[in-house]
Amino acid sequence: MSLLKSSNLGYPRIGVNREWKKTLEAFWAGKLSDSDLILQLEAIRLGHLKVQKEKGIDIIPVNDFSLYDHMLDTATMFGLVPKRFAYEGGKVPVSTYYAMARGDKGATACEMTKWFNTNYHYIVPEFNETEPVLTENRPLQAYQEAKDKLGIEGKPVLIGLYTFLKLSKGYKQDQIEELVQKLIPLYSQILVELEQAGAKWVQIDEPILVTSLTEVEIKLVQAIYAELNEAAPGLKIMLQTYFESVEHYQEIVSLPVQGIGLDFVHGFTSNLQAIEAHGFPEDKVLGVGLIDGRGIWRADFPSKLGLLEKVSAIVPYERLIVQPSCSLLHVPVTTKPETKLEAVLKNALAFADEKLDEIVLLAQAVSTGLDSVSAKLEENQRALKALDEDPSRNKKSVQAAVKEIYEKQSTRNNGFAERRVVQQEKWQLPFLPTTTIGSFPQSAEIRQARQKWRKSEWTNEQYEKFVQEQIKAWIELQEQIGLDVLVHGEFERTDMVEFFGEKLDGFAFTLNGWVQSYGSRCVKPPIIFGDVQFTDTMTVAESVYAQSLTSKPVKGMLTGPITILNWSFVRDDMTREQVSYQIALALREEVESLERAGIEMIQVDEPALREGLPLKRADWEHYLNWAVLAFRVATSTVKDTTQIHTHMCYCEFHDIIDSIRALDADVISIETSRSHGELIHSFEEYTYDKGIGLGVYDIHSPRVPSEEEMVSMIDRALKVLDPALFWINPDCGLKTRGMEETVASLRVMVQATEAVRERR
């Protein structure tokens, strides 16, 4: 028996070669029967358990696997199926489960939203139409499967009652207690059955405990765990938190459970301080989330061991468990297939499998002494040192430029009032100018062309010529449709971050570094490993070509620094703030290059600005300050007549409105259609006095909206916003839409605009 135990909180579902994704998609396409699906998923799931066992993890999680999403699993386990899916009780059939996730025969899918501050999205459970009942015991099934098939004594994982409820919808604030009372017996039954089956530990995830809860809520959490603990006294509860430090430390560690899991990466300082200041109960086990479950870098062993030692002065090793900071769902599976990365970078990476090795090694270092792992410790230090000293990370000029940002100009020469006058004169735009957000449909033909080019079947010239043809066709189309401000269409980009990452210094791309974003959709985020530097213009050629074809203005189109940052894996040897300034300085060069080349309307998209908001309110201001500064660094050195646009894909604005104003963009376009009422409402309360376009139609659906619908959207917006500053545009880019519906919708948009113009 080792002195210090190792554990995991959750393993990626997708598989080394994304076999999970492929299985799901084959099933949806009708290529797999229900039983094939179940069998194939079982093989994947057991494979993942075996990996963890072989690595030597002492406490292996089960029920972290899913057919789509763990929140949806929990909702369906409790029979929370909205009426529109015609569910008749009992165990929820697979077809109903997927209908909720993806929509089916007229029944729209359930809402999906971000899982805390990660890029994982969960299906939002709805409480308004059904009473929760226990339809099956998934944690128990997973526990028994691991035991029977692999002899693994697993640790079932389930989403905690309070987190589940807080992330659900379809109830009013004053119903919370009643719903808690309804859920307690269901959770109790799950735990009782696990206890009877012989389970020793259960991991109950309550990440909501890292957000700001009121005293009343803490009382409720206390009541919940008092009851759950009593229900199955022989089963030990590991109450797991992650993504930040817990607020209300003392109340939480005093909850009637047998273990508390804390994040010692993302909530490192506060959690450690809390333990040092208040101690830790002697009757509990502490799960030390030591290895970053969200980052991709190898751990620095000396500092991790140092931290363990500090913690062990308060909680002895016998009562500690070393584990990742959160589920490994958020990192790719393994670095093994990365044969194309430079050795110095690859050696410094740790994806899920490598993180498990690190956890085992740390446990071993404590249990059997440093000498037993000295070769591995040395190798770890060599790899990290090599990365640290790599020239790509030590570009003096870039780092010096960032230091100067604070003094350098990050404010436009004149305020918006002055700019507005000269811009009006220069651009001579009509009342209610019409435009689009940037991308046009990416047909199969375009994707194939890019593939040919990437595989070197096409030369650069061939590919560029192809892109030019697309641009030309769409400039003509936009003119025919009658839009006022045109775009080149972004045909040369697969992804708005990858495109810039490939052209800037400091980024690397993996072959196989996929992570689940939602359902079967996986993303492969770029890695920002070095100092980010501009090397050559990235968008000028396409923009200049597009502009040469028309007398109407063509907007340049860039992805903003914060979006590039938030959609990448980021180096952790400097702050995100510093990295964002490096990106901003590189983008500034692109902005200036565009301006010099005669592109004097430039859109800098920041759809991910809001996503980066810290979990704790108290940290918002700091983040927003540097995020706004980064945007301004990128966009503020242009002439007064140059018009800076920005775009954001969401409409929750009221709580960050000051920061939106502070961006000082001349024009902002934002998504509106899906929660029109809310957004308009916020503009009743808050003034916005720069150019603004509220999306007048939803681009997530292929439906072509009617002129009346759009007119009424415009009319409602004009009641709360200055008509002279109002722009007309769709909600977002049109990349994923079909050609026909796109042209049809844009024509209606222009007609609707003309109708409103005539009335005025």
Cβ neighbours of residue 378 closer than 8 Å, sequence gap 6 or more? none
User: Whose Cβ is closer to Zn ion: residue 58's or residue 498's?
Assistant: 498
Residues ≥6 apart with Cβ < 8 Å to 754: none
Binding site feature residues for L-methionine: 437-439, 490, 605
Q: Which segment (111-119, 145-153, 716-724, 731-739) binds ligand GLN by CB under 6 A?
A: 731-739
Decide if residue 694 touches Zn ion (CB under 5 A): no
DSSP alpha helices (H): ranges in 549-675? 561-566, 576-596, 620-635, 657-662
439 binds, among Zn ion, ligand GLN, none (CB under 5 to 8 A by kind): ligand GLN
Q: What's the rounded Cα separation, in Å, for the pair 430 and 626?
A: 35
- Contact between 624 and Zn ion by CB under 5 A: the answer reads no
- Grouping H, G, I as helix, E, B as strand and the rest as coil, residue 602 is strand
300-339 residues in contact with ligand GLN (CB under 6 A) are: none
Q: Which of 420, 632, 735, 737 binds ligand GLN (CB under 6 A)?
A: 735
Place of tokens 């479950």: 293
Phi and psi (nearest 5°) for 5?
A: -90, 155
The span from the CA of 325 to the CA of 243, in Å, is 7
Instruction: Determine the Cα–Cα distance for residues 218 and 216; give it in Å rounded to an integer.
Output: 5
Q: Which residues are annotated as a binding site for L-homocysteine?
A: 437-439, 490, 605
Q: Whole-number minimum distance, CB 97 to Zn ion, in Å?
A: 29
437 binds ligand GLN (CB under 6 A): yes
* Token pair 């948009």: residue: 749
**How far apart, in Å, are the Cα atoms of 425 and each of 370, 393, 418, 419, 430?**
72, 45, 11, 10, 12
CB under 5 to 8 A by kind: which of Zn ion, ligand GLN, none does 513 bind? Answer: none
Spatial distance between the Cα atoms of 442 and 494, rounded to a whole number of angstroms:
9
Q: Which of 622, 654, 681, 700 is catalytic?
A: 700
Would you count residue 121 as binding ligand GLN (CB under 6 A)? no
Q: Could you write out the DSSP letters of every residue in 44-94?
A: HHHHHHHHHHHHT-SB-EES---SS-HHHHHHHHTT---GGG---SSSPPH
Within 513-572, which residues bind ligand GLN (CB under 6 A)? Answer: 557
Q: Which residues ranging from 42 to 101 are in contact with ligand GLN (CB under 6 A)?
A: none
Residues 515, 330: contact at Cβ < 8 Å? yes
Is the CB of 199 or the CB of 437 nearer to Zn ion? 437
Q: For residue 278, what is the enclosing H or E element?
A: helix 268-278
Determine the Cα–Cα distance for residues 373 and 568; give it in Å rounded to an integer.
33
Q: Which stretch binds Zn ion (CB under 5 A): 67-75, 241-249, 675-683, 730-738?
A: 730-738
Of these partners, Zn ion, ligand GLN, none, which one is at the site of residue 63 (CB under 5 to 8 Å by kind)?
A: none
Stretch that binds ligand GLN, among 229-237, 434-442, 566-574, 623-631 (CB under 6 A): 434-442
Q: Is 165 exposed, middle or buried (0-12, 13-18, 19+ CB in 10 A)?
A: buried
Q: Which of 732, 743, 750, 756 binds Zn ion (CB under 5 A)?
A: 732
Write the DSSP assignment of 226-240 as a string of letters: HHHHHH-TTSEEEEE
Q: Which of the 8 DSSP states describes residue 485? A: S
CB of 58 to ligand GLN, least distance (A): 43
Given Zn ion, ligand GLN, none, residue 496, with its beta carbon under 5 to 8 Å by kind, binds ligand GLN
CA distance 250 to 200: 25
Task: Pick one of ligand GLN, Zn ion, none as the site partner of residue 600 (Cβ within 5 to 8 A by kind).
Answer: none
Which of 496, 628, 634, 696 is close enough to bind ligand GLN by CB under 6 A?
496
What is the closest distance, in whole angstroms, from the C-beta atom of residue 627 to Zn ion in the complex? 17
Give the nearer residue to ligand GLN in terms of CB position, either 9 or 604.
604
193 close to 185: Cβ distance less than 8 angstroms:
no
Site track for Zn ion across 638-667, x = CB under 5 A:
-----------x------------------
Minimum CB distance to ligand GLN, residue 603 (Å): 7
Instruction: Specify whether the CB–CB gap between 578 and 532 falls below 8 A.
Output: no
> What are the binding residues?
18-21, 114, 437-439, 490, 521-522, 567, 605, 611, 647, 649, 671, 732
Contacted entry of ligand GLN, Zn ion, none for residue 540, CB cut-off 5 to 8 Å set by kind: none
Least Cβ distance, residue 485 to Zn ion (angstroms) = 16
User: With binding defined as CB under 6 A, does residue 139 bind ligand GLN?
Assistant: no
Q: How far apart are the first and last CA of the chain?
A: 81
**Stretch 194-213 residues interacting with ligand GLN (CB under 6 A):** none
Which residue among 18, 294, 488, 647 contacts ligand GLN (CB under 6 A)?
647
Which residues contact residue 369 at a Cβ distance below 8 angstroms, ignoring those fewer than 6 apart? none
Q: In what order do the strands lie in the sheet with 320-324?
A: 5-6, 320-324, 285-291, 259-263, 236-240, 201-205, 155-159, 61-62
- Cα 556 from Cα 265, distance rounded (Å): 39
Q: Smallest distance from the beta carbon of 699 to ligand GLN, in angstroms? A: 9
Residues 597 to 616: which contact Zn ion by CB under 5 A? Answer: 607
How many amino acids of this chain bind ligand GLN (CB under 6 A)? 13
Q: How far is the CB of 493 from ligand GLN (least distance, A)?
A: 8
> Does residue 607 bind ligand GLN (CB under 6 A)?
yes
By CB under 5 A, tell whether 679 contacts Zn ion: no
With 0-12 / 13-18 / 19 or more C-beta atoms within 10 angstroms meaning exposed / middle / buried, residue 710 is buried
Structure tokens at 555: 């907007």
Q: Is residue 186 a contact partner of residue 164, using CB atoms and an 8 Å limit?
A: no
| Residue 437 beta carbon to Zn ion: minimum distance, rounded to whole angstroms | 6
Q: Is residue 125 a contact point for ligand GLN (CB under 6 A)?
A: no
Q: Report how far residue 289's alpha carbon sits from residue 330's, in angstroms, rounded to the nearest whole number.
A: 15
- For CA atoms 623, 628, 631, 637, give the dihedral sign: negative
Give binding residues for Zn(2+) as ranges: 647, 649, 671, 732
Nearest residue (CB) to ligand GLN, 438 versus 525 = 438
Dihedral (C-alpha) 76, 78, 79, 83: value to the nearest 10 degrees? -90
> Is there binding between residue 252 and Zn ion (CB under 5 A)?
no
Query: Of the candidates 82, 139, 324, 733, which one interacts with ligand GLN according to CB under 6 A?
Result: 733
Choose the one of Zn ion, ligand GLN, none that binds residue 599, judging by a C-beta under 5 to 8 angstroms depending on kind: none
Residue 466 three-state SS? helix
Is 248 a catalytic site residue? no
CA angle at 115 for the pair 337 and 11, rounded to the nearest 5° = 35
Q: 405 vs 668, which CB is nearer to Zn ion?
A: 668
Q: Which does 61 bind (CB under 5 to 8 A by kind): ligand GLN, Zn ion, none?
A: none
> Of these, 192, 732, 743, 752, which contacts ligand GLN (CB under 6 A)?
732
- The pair of structure tokens assigned to 168 is 């659900």
Which residue lies nearer to Zn ion by CB, 110 or 609? 609
> Which single residue brings its beta carbon nearest to ligand GLN?
733
- Residues at the interface with Zn ion (CB under 5 A): 607, 649, 732
- Residues at the interface with ligand GLN (CB under 6 A): 437-439, 490, 496, 557, 605, 607, 647, 649, 732-733, 735
Query: Any idea which residues carry the catalytic annotation?
Result: 700
